[in-house]
Amino acid sequence: MDNELSIENLHVSVQGQPILNGINLNLKQGTVHAIMGPNGSGKSTLAYAIMGHPGYEVTQGKVWMDGTDLLELEPHERSRAGLFLAFQYPTAIPGVTLANFLRHSVSNIRNPVRKEGEELISMREFRKELREEMKALDMDPGFARRYLNDGFSGGEKKRAEILQLSMLRPRFAVLDETDSGLDIDALRIVSDGVNRLMGPEMGVLVITHYQRLLDHIKPDFVHIMFEGRIVESGNSELALKLEEKGYDWIREKYPEFEKNASQKPVEQSSPVTG
């Protein structure tokens, strides 16, 4: 369906270990969905699988965006189609400045048929837009001359991710624990940046452990993931219930999944887990 990111019965394995066990989710442009869940439940695995990380094997299911089969596309093609992933742990790229990275990225997104070596977006237009977006995120203009994420603090990395989001303007943005490592001021700035971009042309999938992010980015829908499945869905009150009660009531409600969990190794949040 157009204007929709649709995930149907998605199963994903990492190094032969099943992590996702049948995810179903429909995210429309103009809406905000939040996914919460205990460590190892598969939240980051979902994000990386959608984006096409080669370490994640989709063993069953479908992922469609605006009528396009994402599973048939390479990661850069998914990006050009309008999908964006803000990483939980952004990678440093020494030798490539943030400005140079963004100019190439923006040129490729806005001109999908562009080949490497062909003309980039004009420097004058790019600089003007970059300065405006950095000002909105309360970023020093000199930040653009630094190497991408190299020596950045946790808060600087997350601001750089939101700067990329603001420059690329995707149809769908997946934010994988963007609040991780942020102090109160940085959280507010990053959240304000996301809120400023939200509108009818962008859908947002927020992956988080904490209610504090959802105090700033208001979700239309909240989903609880447990052992590779979405087991509960609701509105913002569901996140408040988790804040109050934790996940014990989920484990008690779905004991059959907890039993299966005890039979597999514990996951850690990393580029190849959940």
> What average pLDDT does this structure show over 77-89?
92
Percent of the chain scoring above 90 in pLDDT: 67
| Shared domain check, 72 and 98 | no
Q: Is residue 123 part of a domain?
A: yes
| Shared domain check, 214 and 86 | yes
For helices 98-110 and 123-136, angle between their N-to-C axes, nearest 10 degrees:
110
Q: Is residue 272 part of a domain?
A: no
Q: What is the pLDDT of residues 28-78, one digit of tens each?
A: 999 999 999 998 899 999 999 999 999 999 999 999 998 899 999 999 999
What pLDDT does 118 receive?
Answer: 82
Q: Is residue 269 part of a domain?
A: no
Ranges 35-39, 99-103, 108-112: which has the least confidence: 108-112
Token digits of residue 249: 């009531």
Q: Measured between alpha carbons, how far is 58 from 48 in angstroms, rounded to an integer?
A: 11
Per the listing, tokens 């429909």 go with 26
Q: Measured between alpha carbons, how far is 97 from 130 in angstroms, rounded to an integer?
A: 13
| Shared domain check, 178 and 131 | no
| Shared domain check, 86 and 173 | yes
Per the listing, tokens 């442009």 go with 29
Q: What is the pTM of this model?
A: 0.88
Residue 104 has pLDDT above 60, yes or no: yes
| Shared domain check, 84 and 173 | yes
| Shared domain check, 14 and 142 | no
State which residues form the domain around 136: 93-151
Contact 181, 154 (CB under 8 A): yes
Which pLDDT band, with edges at 50, 70 and 90, does 101 fall under? very high
Q: What is the pLDDT of residues 201-258, one digit of tens each?
A: 899 999 998 888 899 999 999 999 999 999 999 999 999 999 899 999 999 998 877 6
Backbone dihedral angles phi then psi of residue 196, each to the nearest 5 degrees: -65, -30
What pLDDT does 114 receive?
Answer: 83
Domain count within the chain: 2
| Shared domain check, 249 and 177 | yes
What pLDDT does 81 receive?
Answer: 92
Last residue of one domain, picked from the residues 151, 178, 195: 151
For helices 154-168 and 98-110, angle between their N-to-C axes, nearest 10 degrees:
30
Which pLDDT band, with edges at 50, 70 and 90, does 263 fall under? very low
Q: Measured between alpha carbons, how far is 122 from 214 in angstroms, rounded to an integer?
A: 37
| Shared domain check, 180 and 81 | yes
| Shared domain check, 116 and 77 | no
